[in-house]
Structure 1
Amino acid sequence: MSDTVDDEIVHRELETDRQEPVAQIVEVVAELEGDRQDDLTPGYKQVDHILQHVFSDPPVPEAQVKITFSYEGYRITVEQYGKAQFVKL
């Protein structure tokens, strides 16, 4: 994962070939909050399945698929090729 920070927005590049992609979301939020992953709410299985499907069989680039959801006080947007934004709510 690579990252950049623009004021209030944290950008990360997720690994699209990893199993359980939502685990990466939990890792990032734990890092941002200075918490252990075990201290956070488990990631959403529904989101994990959606991300796995989008990452394993991405639509054409023109589709510009983005998945946005809230988790542990962050609004998170993940694009079809693994770019992710984390915005503290």
Structure 2
Amino acid sequence: MSDQPDREVINRELDPDDENPSVQVIEAIMNFEGATSTELPTIYDCIDGTLNELFSNPPAPEAQMEVTFSYHRYRITVEQNGNAKFVKTG
């Protein structure tokens, strides 16, 4: 038996053609938490333009590139094809 409780995992599809994937991450968390954007910290301090670069200038598909970062009680992994996994950590 594990000492850690099961963590909530939520999968979402982000649009890799969207100009600002960070906004998609914020909108997903707003939806999960029932929060407004003013209630969330700025995401720029966590990820700056890295997600934008992942989608606007992606490596070859066989690279299977992904970015993992923490933001507002979630550990978030975004793949270059737009698959995103949100693991609630707090």
Give the match's secondary structure for 1:58: coil
Letter of the 1:50 counterpart: T
Q: TM-score, normalised by structure 2?
A: 0.82
Contact kept, 8 Å, 1:40 with 1:72, in 2: the verdict is yes
Question: Whose RCO is larger (CA < 8 A, sep 6+)?
Answer: 2
Q: How big is the alpha-carbon RMSD for the aligned residues of Structure 1 and Structure 2?
A: 1.7
Q: Map 1:11-26 onto structure 2 (within 5 A).
A: 11-26=11-26
Ranges in structure 2 where 5+ consecutive residues have no aligned partner: 1-6
Q: Hey, which bits of structure 1, 4+ residues long, moved more than 3 A?
A: none
Identity of aligned residues (%): 46
Ranges in structure 1 where 5+ consecutive residues have no aligned partner: 1-6
- Could you tell which deviates more after superposition, 70-79 or 31-40? 31-40
1:30 — aligned with what?
A: 30
Return closer, same or farther for 1:45/1:56 CA change in 2, 3 Å cut-off: farther
Q: CA deviation at 1:69?
A: 0.3
Q: TM-score, normalised by structure 1?
A: 0.83
2:3 — aligned with what?
A: none
Answer with 1 or 2: which has the greater Rg.
Answer: 2
Q: CA deviation at 1:43?
A: 1.4
